[in-house]
């Protein structure tokens, strides 16, 4: 796609990659907060 300059395909692949990265990071944050009870939102000690 790059050599043929098919920019919509390139942009689509990059967008899907970015969305999957965001979803993966969100899932990692939620899993970390679930696994470690010391991590809670808005709690300052």
**Domain residue spans of the chain:** 2-43
Residue 37 pLDDT class (50, 70, 90 cuts): confident
Q: Which two tokens stand for residue 8?
A: 């919509």
At 12-36, the pLDDT tens digits run 999 999 999 999 999 999 999 888 8
Task: Check residue 21 and give its pLDDT.
Answer: 99
Q: Which residue has the higher pLDDT, 43 or 4?
A: 4
Six-digit token string for 23: 């979803």
Counting Cα atoms < 13 Å in the Cβ hemisphere of 45 gives 4
Cα angle vertex 23, ends 20, 24, to 5°?
A: 85
d(CA 14, CA 16): 5
Query: 27 or 5, which is more confident?
Result: 27
């Amino acid at each position: 796609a790059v050599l043929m300059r098919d920019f919509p395909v390139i942009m689509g692949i990059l967008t899907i990659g970015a969305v999957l990265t965001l979803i993966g990071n969100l899932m990692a944050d939620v899993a970390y907060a679930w696994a470690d009870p010391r991590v809670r939102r808005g709690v300052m000690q």
